[in-house]
Amino acid sequence: MSSNKENVKKSRNLVSAGVFIALYFVVFVIVGTICMPIPPLYLCMLPLIALFASPVYQMLITKAPMHGPIFIAAMLPCLFLLMMGNIWIVVLTGIIAGVFAEIIAGMGEFKSASSNMISYFVFSLNLLGGFLPIWVMREEYFKSTLDRGMSQDFVDKLRAITPGWVLIAIIVATVICGFIGIQIGNKMFAKHFKKAGIA
Amino acid sequence: MKNGIRFDPRTKFILLLGVNMLLLLSRSLFLELALFLFCIFILLVDKRYKNAVIYLIAFLLMLFIDRFLSGCFTGFYFTIINFIVYALRRFMPCLILGKWILDTTAVSDFVATMWKIKLPLTVIIPLSVVFRYFPTIKEEWESIRAAMKIRGISFSVEHVFVPLIFSAVNVSEELSAAALCRGLDAPGEHTSLVEIKMSYIDYLFLALFVSITIAAFILKGMGII
């Protein structure tokens, strides 16, 4: 009987996890549709998602403190991007970010605030692979334009506006925005959810 | 599905991933054309003629911009536009397949496939909830916006997120009660109305893709592409 009860509790957690994963995905889609068409904003996508998704992530961990849901949440947007014609590397970074976020959150038994925060930083980098094509394609494009006799001058100019350090800047900005997001989330939790007794 | 031949969702996904990986093997136009035509062929077999024609026109247009206009125009901005067009064209086969999968795979097919390949319950339950919860989010969003309008509250993150998360918590409790009543966590084999099975068409297209891959690697090894 007790194992049955345990089972019911587990299924209940999994259903809640599904609901919050869906909410996270919606945040991703909304930020994505705003950012995608505008090239400079496109690079801000990861930090912006990290900023807004943190209450959902914190709720996900509170409602489903188990292994599995975090990984699925990290993978789902990656698979979606893959379907939209993105490079397969995005799935790879999704898996890496998901697994590490799981492990880090699991070290604090999904309850420690600091390990949850660090796991959120790692989790937020899940889509990093989606930005790599800019650099992969760039080198390829340079080669093909040089083949056809375009001047080195253009290549240098294009190279200058897409420098490699942007990738590192994205990572740093994501962590900073994730930190701010977690602070906002904590305030929201203290102000509303803890009072209502659902967190 | 009402028209065309039904592909197994597993085949669709293998093809998507395979085309995506093969695409980066070489930057020759020959391989690109082969993969593009392969994707168009799938659409034709599935009787999606309109989509196929649109993709074909878009592809030719982008090829034209890259090959001919770049000779006429030079300039910094044109180079940027050309770069974007080039990247879009290169990833077009993936885009075609992705759109095709989204169009032709129903949620029930997808869930049935997950049971078929025996994923753990930890994966199946959340994912089946995710796809069915999306329409509810839209409804909730509209109600929240309406309630904010009545009260004259301007848009802010807190005013959207807090009610949305509250409603999500309530929905998740109701949903888990309903799902448990229907035996979501029942042990043993689950049956499904949708039957997932590999048919001759799946094997045919997988074989075709494998032969394209082998040909690409041989040509690459010979240094032709």
Q: Which residues of B touch A85 (CB under 8 A)?
A: 91-92, 94-95, 98
Residue B1 pLDDT > 50, yes or no? no
B157 → closest Cβ in A11, A21, A52: A52
* CA dist B165 → A81, A188, B143, B145 (Å): 25, 11, 14, 14
The pLDDT of residue A1 is 45
Please give, rounded to a whole number of angstroms, the shortest distance from the CA of A7 to a CA of chain B: 8
A72 → closest Cβ in B126, B172, B176: B126
Give me the mean pLDDT over the B163-184 stretch: 87
For the stretch A168-184, pLDDT in tens is 888 999 999 999 999 99
pTM, entire model: 0.84
| Rounded distance between C-alpha atoms, residue A145 and residue B85, angstroms | 13
What sections of B152-182 are H helices per DSSP?
A: 157-181
| Rounded distance between C-alpha atoms, residue B62 and residue A100, angstroms | 40
Please give, rounded to a whole number of angstroms, the shortest distance from the CA of B197 to a CA of chain A: 22
Would you put residue A85 in left (φ > 0), alpha (ψ -120 to 50) or beta? left
CA dihedral sign of residues B120, B125, B126, B130:
positive
Residue B48 pLDDT > 80, yes or no? yes
CA dihedral sign of residues A178, A180, A183, A184:
negative
Q: A72 CB near a chain B CB, below 8 Å?
A: yes
User: In chain B, what percentage of residues exceed pLDDT 90?
Assistant: 23
Are A25 and B130 in contact by the 8 Å Cβ rule? The answer is: yes
| Three-class DSSP category at A128 | helix
Give me the mean pLDDT over the A137-144 stretch: 70
The pLDDT of residue B150 is 92
A56 to B125: CB separation less than 8 angstroms, yes or no? no
Are B10 and B208 in contact by the 8 Å Cβ rule? The answer is: no
ipTM of the modeled complex: 0.80
∠ CA B126-B127-B129, rounded to 5° = 65
For the stretch B91-127, pLDDT in tens is 889 889 988 998 888 888 888 898 888 888 888 889 9
| Rounded distance between C-alpha atoms, residue A126 and residue A73, angstroms | 10
Binned at pLDDT 50, 70 and 90, residue B80 comes out as confident
Q: Which residues of A touch B125 (CB under 8 A)?
A: 11, 14-15, 17-18
A50 burial type by CB count under 10 A (0-12 exposed, 13-18 middle, 19+ buried): buried
B16 to A196: CB separation less than 8 angstroms, yes or no? no
Binned at pLDDT 50, 70 and 90, residue A147 comes out as low
**Mean pLDDT estimate for chain A:** 84
Q: Where exactly are the structural domains of chain A?
A: 2-196
Q: Which residues of A touch B102 (CB under 8 A)?
A: 83
